[in-house]
């Protein structure tokens, strides 16, 4: 992983760990938090979701649609899970994303995203990433944090934790 770039971001949600975990543990919630210029469609999820499960998606950037398939690499319920882009089946040369969760208090949870990635297109991709990658990642994850907070904080703590069908 030495040649890979690293990005880390975190935010606090005013919701208990169980509710935040349930939301993030459902790949069908991903399209709800991708509200910027990059949109995601989940086409298939191997269930039950466990290490080895495949998640097949389509990433849309404007009119361009790209397949992006990942495999769940590790999962420790209520603590973290890691997904990894399947080689040759996504927009990056390599992508490993760990989603971690920490209790702040009984009503708040910290969500931590850790990415290790290698952009596509060789030296050209590395140049683009050096110029715009960190800013792009920061903007995308800030948007995801805002939407996640809005969805989780708007519903009472006793509400059903299934957000895949929520508007």
Distance CA 92, CA 94 (A): 5
Where do the domains of the chain lie, and which CATH numbers do they carry?
5-154 (3.30.530.20)
What's residue 38's pLDDT?
86
What's residue 108's pLDDT?
98
Q: What is the pTM of this model?
A: 0.86
- Rounded average pLDDT per 10-residue block, the chain, 167 residues: 80 97 96 89 96 96 93 98 96 94 97 91 65 74 94 69 46
Q: What is the largest CA-CA distance in the chain?
A: 50
DSSP per position, 4-51: SEEEEEEEEESS-HHHHHHHHT-GGGHHHH--SSEEEEEEEE-SS--T
Query: What are 111's two structure tokens?
Result: 């969500």
> Do residues 42 and 156 make contact, with C-beta atoms less than 8 angstroms apart?
no
């Amino acid at each position: 992983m030495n040649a890979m770039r690293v990005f880390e971001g975190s935010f606090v949600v005013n919701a208990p760990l169980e509710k935040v975990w349930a939301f993030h543990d459902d790949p069908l919630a991903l399209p709800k938090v991708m509200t910027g210029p990059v949109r995601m469609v989940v086409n298939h999820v191997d269930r039950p979701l466990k290490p080895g499960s495949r998640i097949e998606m389509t990433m849309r950037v404007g009119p361009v649609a790209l397949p992006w398939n990942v495999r769940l690499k590790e999962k420790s319920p209520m603590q973290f899970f890691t997904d990894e882009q399947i080689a040759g089946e996504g927009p990056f040369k390599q992508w490993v994303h760990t989603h971690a969760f920490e209790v702040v208090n009984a009503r708040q949870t910290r969500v931590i995203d850790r990415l290790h990635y290698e952009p596509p297109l060789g030296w050209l991709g590395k140049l683009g990433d050096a110029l715009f990658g960190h800013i792009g990642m920061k903007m995308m994850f800030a948007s995801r944090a805002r939407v996640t907070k809005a969805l989780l904080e708007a519903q009472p703590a006793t509400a059903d934790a299934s957000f895949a069908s929520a508007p």
